[in-house]
Chains A and B, each alone.
Chain A
């Protein structure tokens, strides 16, 4: 062990415990100089995410315009939650629109109506996450009430022509027939006809650990591809266009 990061940290957030380095996220001040990452010769420590200006980002995006033209593709603003940084999002949407680039915004729906209204004329496509419709279950699993999300969905559905529902299939949590029926009902009510199913996988588990977060979904298991067909058929047989992504 070289201990370079240990020595570099001004807040002493890094300690040695049982021969391994432990990072205390409570003590770490997330200082801007980030001396601990620079000190590690093997890039074992890195900061997730980086600051980028709208100018830099639009430069990166526009370099791929020839690819978008040939593939029919464009830019997807995702997250996290893009409406968590509404000013930046709106600015980027404006610039993309000016450059003629197709844009998609993937949102969990937890956004202010003012921000949403601003984004609507600037966005080519909305990908709207619906997880659980039952208010109690939604609050329990996401920590937020479902009602404002459903209101936002109605707003988008009435004012924007391209909205696709994205539905994470989580074993035992979102994939109940009751919830599927609820989702279908909300879609019908809002006149929405396209849904993407996102089957749960555990590829993010390591990420939680790296960020000092508890991963609460251990031992959920995987879907077999055969099982997924029954979910897709549920929607397709009810007149909803459905893809597994």
Chain B
């Protein structure tokens, strides 16, 4: 038996307190907390006379001011999304339908059938506790008391005809001429499930303003606007409505903070331990100061940031809501605080990261499966300042150190790469990679700057300063973009299925396209493109209709306050108040399998004439059974990821067609859709609904992961060839991109190993690539962890644009990570 290679770097919490937080998290079950939605619903019942923004702000503020402030043992930072360690708010105001279906034991949406969730860790804990007590299990992995379950049923019934999802359905089902195509698209797995249960996120607020100015000053500014805006000017009334709503939302937020201050004082008064009492008194003082006023020291700045971050998180049903460039936002407070050092900042950051990880979300089963419970809170370090100088600093180092120590799944760390980042920072980033935790992911800032210069036309200084990653791999401008709210993913693999089966989905028999006679390679390619065009266009148009319902039901008011120039223009984000409204992307995954399949078709059927197209399609429909030698020939045709132009040119051609097509249509804010490709967990469910492909892939196997990652087992020329292929893609055309590389720990050993890793990143970005991330783990360890999960409770690996606890991943996703090609350099 070969022994398993250990990860080279194994961090541990910097202090006993952080170790306590981590262990408390790892041992907590997943809970649903209905407190927020109960209060929100109570208010909503009474506010029917208000216009939508005022009503939204009033309901939210009412709920915020009535939330129970919970300060847990040893906490230094105040504020939680729920009353539980691991808790989720069920946003019935966004979508009540999936919950009601579960309560009524009706069939869930079509994608849920293909959804696999994990069963270990906190999920397993919830299941155990549900079995052992009077608690109920909801949405597969969350606990809820029987009493709350009944209350929640009433809440859902209230929202059944009022939620964002229901309003959206009314709009598009009635008005969209391609409504049937969308419905069928869900049935056959062309699209991910409806996104209404968790539509928002990929949003980064302007924390610099929120923390630096304080809410009191911002309220004053808004009130001045309300008083001075001329009633004669166009849009006056709607501006007033937004501004007044903003003040209400901010006042609710202040009440939330003040409740924490009062609770800390109350607890201090009855605390017998003098050390803890002093801590609670300090917490009370801090919470009565921030976020209302500017912080006086580093700790206050962290608390202030956390309040605003949390309050924005509570308002919406976010996925990918991100802290952004926290090392830039908080560095002034770090620098001006004589009492702080990297060593003293680390424990506070460790607590902050545990708190971020404690936020859970509950949505439809399919979205929980797709996101794998991950919140995609992306914190990006380094990069350049507005003048183009490297911006990594002491806080960047402290943040890396805190995550090396803690290895929490949130926030996922990223690095904005440029060659001038300090060597110590680069080496620290490599050290973090070698924990095996899968972050930081590396992003090429120059590529995104070029993209944004071309599409937004904003000044380069603005773009440099504000560029960040919102969510897993989508770059955005922090504090000035409408959070990228898109409809979900389109499955390129399913399009190949439709090409093979003459426009009919083989599983359901649903016809999506007319059959077509295919006599040349060009005709095959065109057939795919036409299918892709219809799939994308319909998806984008459908979502434009749904987002009208967003404005009518759940517009974000609090979040809009901290997105420029909403306040200045008097418009919320849903009305186009953000500086950047071309940030809405169209997402898809599986293009590598399409391009490999077309390469095989081109070579075997039209060049070598090894077999006819119908013979190849027949073999594929038979899942290659009886055609093993033909499959072998298919696998011998060049595949993506080997720096072979034959395969790579096809990918580049399809990539360009996709980007051009996506851009050809405007989003709901009147700007062109921006092309993106991501993966999250889609390769697994998307692959599950697809038959075999001409590229040799078997029926039901996952699609290629990431965006430019090769299909497992078809990259035969090592990591540099993968990178050379990937770097042929013009990443400035697209917002996003994802390349996974998996290394055996021995390949990156020691300082030389770190230096080699950094050289690899540097070379890729010179070419220029956009994104690369690494799993550094012995596959044998992962197999062992499948067999003995009890020994691996804290093992974290990289999946797509996020890292996850191994034991909480589904078996299918675990297999997919093991399956990826393991490299050495």
Interface assignment of A71: CB less than 8 Å from any CB of chain B: yes
Check B767 against A66 for contact (C-beta < 8 Å): yes
| The residue from A43, A67, A222 contacting B632, defined by CB atoms under 8 A apart | A43
Check A71 against B643 for contact (C-beta < 8 Å): no
Interface assignment of B759: CB less than 8 Å from any CB of chain A: yes
B720 / chain A contacts, CB cutoff of 8 Å: 63-64, 67
Interface assignment of B790: CB less than 8 Å from any CB of chain A: no
Interface assignment of B763: CB less than 8 Å from any CB of chain A: yes
A66 / chain B contacts, CB cutoff of 8 Å: 763, 766-767
Min CB gap B153→A, angstroms = 54
Given A41-B632, A43-B632, A64-B720; A71-B756 close (CB under 8 Å): yes
Interface assignment of A177: CB less than 8 Å from any CB of chain B: no
Check B755 against A41 for contact (C-beta < 8 Å): no
The A interface is mostly helix, strand or loop, or mixed, namely loop
For B2, give the chain A residue with the smallest CB separation. A203
Min CB gap A144→B, angstroms = 31
Min CB gap B778→A, angstroms = 13
Check B763 against A70 for contact (C-beta < 8 Å): yes
Q: Give the size of the chain B interface in residues (CB under 8 angstroms).
A: 18
Interface assignment of B628: CB less than 8 Å from any CB of chain A: yes
Interface assignment of B631: CB less than 8 Å from any CB of chain A: yes
Interface assignment of B760: CB less than 8 Å from any CB of chain A: yes
Min CB gap A73→B, angstroms = 7
Complex CA gap A39/B629 in Å reads 7
Interface assignment of B724: CB less than 8 Å from any CB of chain A: yes
Check B756 against A41 for contact (C-beta < 8 Å): no
Min CB gap A138→B, angstroms = 30
The B interface is mostly helix, strand or loop, or mixed, namely helix
Complex CA gap A62/B97 in Å reads 59
Complex CA gap A228/B755 in Å reads 24
Check A41 against B760 for contact (C-beta < 8 Å): no
| The residue from B3, B629, B755, B763 contacting A67, defined by CB atoms under 8 A apart | B763
B766 / chain A contacts, CB cutoff of 8 Å: 66, 70
Q: Give the size of the chain A interface in residues (CB under 8 angstroms).
A: 17
A67 / chain B contacts, CB cutoff of 8 Å: 720, 759-760, 763
For B3, give the chain A residue with the smallest CB separation. A222
Complex CA gap A203/B628 in Å reads 30
Check A63 against B724 for contact (C-beta < 8 Å): yes
Using an 8 Å CB-CB cutoff, how does the interface string of A192-227 with B read, 1 for contact, 0 for none? Answer: 000000000001000000000000000000100000
Complex CA gap A4/B631 in Å reads 15
Complex CA gap A222/B755 in Å reads 29
Interface assignment of B551: CB less than 8 Å from any CB of chain A: no
Given A63-B643, A63-B724, A64-B720; A70-B629 close (CB under 8 Å): no
B2 / chain A contacts, CB cutoff of 8 Å: 203
Using an 8 Å CB-CB cutoff, how does the interface string of B614-647 with A read, 1 for contact, 0 for none? Answer: 0000000000000011011000000000010000
B3 / chain A contacts, CB cutoff of 8 Å: 222
Task: List residues 713-772 of chain B with CB under 8 A from any CB of chain A.
Answer: 720-721, 724, 755-756, 759-760, 762-763, 766-767
Given A41-B632, A63-B643, A66-B766; A71-B755 close (CB under 8 Å): yes
Using an 8 Å CB-CB cutoff, how does the interface string of A62-80 with B read, 1 for contact, 0 for none? Answer: 0110110111110000000
For A71, give the chain B residue with the smallest CB separation. B759
For B419, give the chain A residue with the smallest CB separation. A70
Task: List residues 28-45 of chain A with CB under 8 A from any CB of chain B.
Answer: 39-43
Complex CA gap A65/B284 in Å reads 60
Min CB gap B300→A, angstroms = 42
Check B759 against A41 for contact (C-beta < 8 Å): no
Min CB gap A57→B, angstroms = 13
Tally the A-B contacts, defined by beta carbons under 8 Å: 39
Given A71-B759, A73-B756; A41-B767 close (CB under 8 Å): no
Complex CA gap A106/B555 in Å reads 67
A4 / chain B contacts, CB cutoff of 8 Å: 629
| The residue from B628, B721, B763 contacting A41, defined by CB atoms under 8 A apart | B628
B762 / chain A contacts, CB cutoff of 8 Å: 70
Complex CA gap A160/B159 in Å reads 82
Min CB gap A240→B, angstroms = 19
Check A42 against B628 for contact (C-beta < 8 Å): yes
Complex CA gap A66/B2 in Å reads 35
B629 / chain A contacts, CB cutoff of 8 Å: 4, 39, 41
For A201, give the chain B residue with the smallest CB separation. B2
Residue of A39, A70, A203 with most partner-chain B CB within 10 A: A70
Min CB gap B762→A, angstroms = 5
A222 / chain B contacts, CB cutoff of 8 Å: 3
B724 / chain A contacts, CB cutoff of 8 Å: 63
B755 / chain A contacts, CB cutoff of 8 Å: 71-72
A63 / chain B contacts, CB cutoff of 8 Å: 643, 720-721, 724
Given A41-B628, A42-B628, A63-B724; A70-B759 close (CB under 8 Å): yes
For B627, give the chain A residue with the smallest CB separation. A41
Complex CA gap A63/B643 in Å reads 9
Min CB gap A94→B, angstroms = 23
Complex CA gap A4/B632 in Å reads 14
Min CB gap A175→B, angstroms = 20
Min CB gap B144→A, angstroms = 50
Complex CA gap A40/B720 in Å reads 30
Min CB gap A187→B, angstroms = 22
A69 / chain B contacts, CB cutoff of 8 Å: 763
For A66, give the chain B residue with the smallest CB separation. B763
Min CB gap B423→A, angstroms = 13
B759 / chain A contacts, CB cutoff of 8 Å: 67, 70-73
Using an 8 Å CB-CB cutoff, how does the interface string of B83-121 with A read, 1 for contact, 0 for none? Answer: 000000000000000000000000000000000000000
Complex CA gap A50/B792 in Å reads 42
Min CB gap A212→B, angstroms = 23
Residue of A39, A42, A43, A64 with most partner-chain B CB within 10 A: A64
Complex CA gap A42/B720 in Å reads 27
B631 / chain A contacts, CB cutoff of 8 Å: 41
For A69, give the chain B residue with the smallest CB separation. B763
Task: List residues 753-801 of chain B with CB under 8 A from any CB of chain A.
Answer: 755-756, 759-760, 762-763, 766-767
Task: List residues 153-211 of chain A with CB under 8 A from any CB of chain B.
Answer: 203
Complex CA gap A64/B756 in Å reads 13
Min CB gap A152→B, angstroms = 28
Min CB gap B444→A, angstroms = 14
Complex CA gap A69/B760 in Å reads 10
Using an 8 Å CB-CB cutoff, how does the interface string of B1-12 with A read, 1 for contact, 0 for none? Answer: 011000000000
Complex CA gap A73/B762 in Å reads 14
Check A71 against B628 for contact (C-beta < 8 Å): no
Residue of A40, A41, A67, A72 with most partner-chain B CB within 10 A: A67
A203 / chain B contacts, CB cutoff of 8 Å: 2
A64 / chain B contacts, CB cutoff of 8 Å: 720
For B766, give the chain A residue with the smallest CB separation. A66
Complex CA gap A4/B721 in Å reads 34
For A222, give the chain B residue with the smallest CB separation. B3
Using an 8 Å CB-CB cutoff, how does the interface string of B272-299 with A read, 1 for contact, 0 for none? Answer: 0000000000000000000000000000
Complex CA gap A42/B696 in Å reads 12
A41 / chain B contacts, CB cutoff of 8 Å: 628-629, 631-632
For B719, give the chain A residue with the smallest CB separation. A67
Using an 8 Å CB-CB cutoff, how does the interface string of A1-42 with B read, 1 for contact, 0 for none? Answer: 000100000000000000000000000000000000001111
For A41, give the chain B residue with the smallest CB separation. B628
Complex CA gap A73/B721 in Å reads 16
Complex CA gap A19/B721 in Å reads 41
A71 / chain B contacts, CB cutoff of 8 Å: 755-756, 759-760, 763
Extra A-B contacts (4), CB below 8 Å, given A63-B720, A67-B759: A41-B629, A43-B632, A66-B766, A70-B763
Could you tell me which A residues sit within 8 Å of B by CB distance?
Answer: 4, 39-43, 63-64, 66-67, 69-73, 203, 222
Across the A-B interface, give the 7 residue pairs with the lowest CB-CB distance, nearest first: A41-B628, A71-B759, A70-B759, A66-B763, A70-B762, A67-B763, A70-B763
23 A–B contact pairs at CB < 8 A?
A4-B629, A39-B629, A40-B632, A41-B628, A41-B629, A41-B631, A41-B632, A42-B632, A43-B632, A63-B643, A63-B720, A66-B766, A66-B767, A67-B720, A67-B759, A70-B766, A71-B755, A71-B756, A71-B760, A71-B763, A72-B759, A73-B756, A73-B759
